[in-house]
Structure formats: C-alpha cells, structure tokens
Amino acid sequence: MPQALDFKDRLLCAAGHGLLTVFGRPLAGRPSPAHSPAAKLSEAQRTLAGALMRVNHVGEVCAQALYQSQALFSHDEALRSQLEQAADEEIDHLAWTRARLDELKDRPSLLNPLWYGGAFALGSLAGLMGDRISLGFLVETERQVEQHLAAHLDRLPAEDQRSREIVDRMKQDEAEHARHALEAGGAELPPPVPGLMRLAARVMTTVAHRV
C-alpha cells in the first residue's frame, strides 16, 4: 500500500500544479464538447466571445487554486481525494477554454498569476477553518460560477455555438460539483460571506474581461 504524502510533499505537489496551471498547457481528459463547425463571426462578435471565454478561463485558473489549497489543508483523506478528483475534472474546463481562446485568436488574462495566488490564499483560509466550512465555501463558489456561466450563455453570440457548447457543459459540471460538496457535509455560509464572494468575483470578471 503506497505511503500517504506528508504536508511538505503535498505542498510541493500543489506548487507544481500551480505552475502548470498558470504557465503550462494542461491536457483535458475528456473530449471538448465543442462539436459544432466553426462559424464566421464578425470582429465585434469575436471580440466579445474572446473576452467572455477569457473570463471563463480565469475562473478555471481560480478553481484549480481553490481545489488544490482546500485539499492541502483538509484533515480528511477521503475528502482530500474528492477535492483532488474534482480538480482533475476542472482541468478539462481549463483546457477547453484555452483551446477556444486559441480558436478565437485571443489570449488568456495577463493577470493569471495574481488570480491564482489570490484564490489559493482564499482556499487556504477556508481549509484552515475546517472541512465543513471549506466544503460550504466550495458549494457557494460553484453556485455562483453556475450563475455566472448562465449569464454568459445569454451574452455569447448566438452564432458562436462552439463557445456556447463549452460553457453549457461547464455549467452542468459545476452544478454537479456543488451537489457533491453539499452531500459531503458542506455548511451554509453566514450571510455576509456570499455577498463578499460575489463582490470579489465581480471585480475579477470586470478586470479579466479586458486584461
């Protein structure tokens, strides 16, 4: 039976994962849901789609940071495994959004190292507060991401079916992750916290839309 990694080893693994997330090109384990043929978009449509997919890519960068940091500080081996598995599934989103940015001839956010570092700090804080709070933070995060993706489905050009297929699949996955975290014992967060999370997300999405 393989020996469990100690905290230092897990910290080094998390650091390596962070470098790959921010500076590398992680590979998806599942095929992209973008099956529609590429449509001819106007320059305005391409610019809007690129900006929205950049925001979605930033969200996946932050998701990796949250899952990795919360797994790092979890004291429950089974929960840690669940968080790491969810992070693996979210890598698909990271790869799909990056590939779509390439297709749209756009780029990821220049501030991805900052987004990753901030999300890792928040996830670490949640993890240090205990598994129930950590899971509750995860539930609320996924709920807000699901709402954010639904809004993007309303804003993406109707002609851009490839982006829409990716976002729709991501939305389904986020709902599933929120359900799993709730079933694992996630606590409801006190009222001020979700509001502060929405405010922080609004700042991130506004900046990432442009930078």
CA atoms of 179 and 57, how far apart (whole Å): 22
Choose which CATH entry (3.40.50.1000, 1.20.1260.10, 3.40.50.11390, 3.40.50.300) describes domain 7-12+42-208.
1.20.1260.10
Rounded to whole angstroms, what are the CA distances from 55 to 19, 30, 77, 95, 107?
Answer: 19, 21, 32, 14, 11
Q: What is the model's pTM?
A: 0.91
Let me know: does 166 contact 101? Beta carbons within 8 Å: no
CA atoms of 104 and 107, how far apart (whole Å): 9
The domain spans of the chain are: 7-12+42-208
Single-letter residue type at 175? A
Per-residue pLDDT reduced to its tens digit, 44-100: 999 999 999 999 999 999 989 988 898 888 878 878 887 888 888 889 999 999 999
Q: Select from 9, 5, 131, 113 the least CA-distant residue to 65.
A: 113
Rounded to whole angstroms, what are the CA distances from 137 to 21, 48, 133?
Answer: 21, 30, 6
pLDDT at res. 3:
54
Tokens 């489905």 sit at which residue?
Answer: 153
CA atoms of 65 and 115, how far apart (whole Å): 9
Per-residue pLDDT reduced to its tens digit, 32-49: 999 999 899 999 999 999
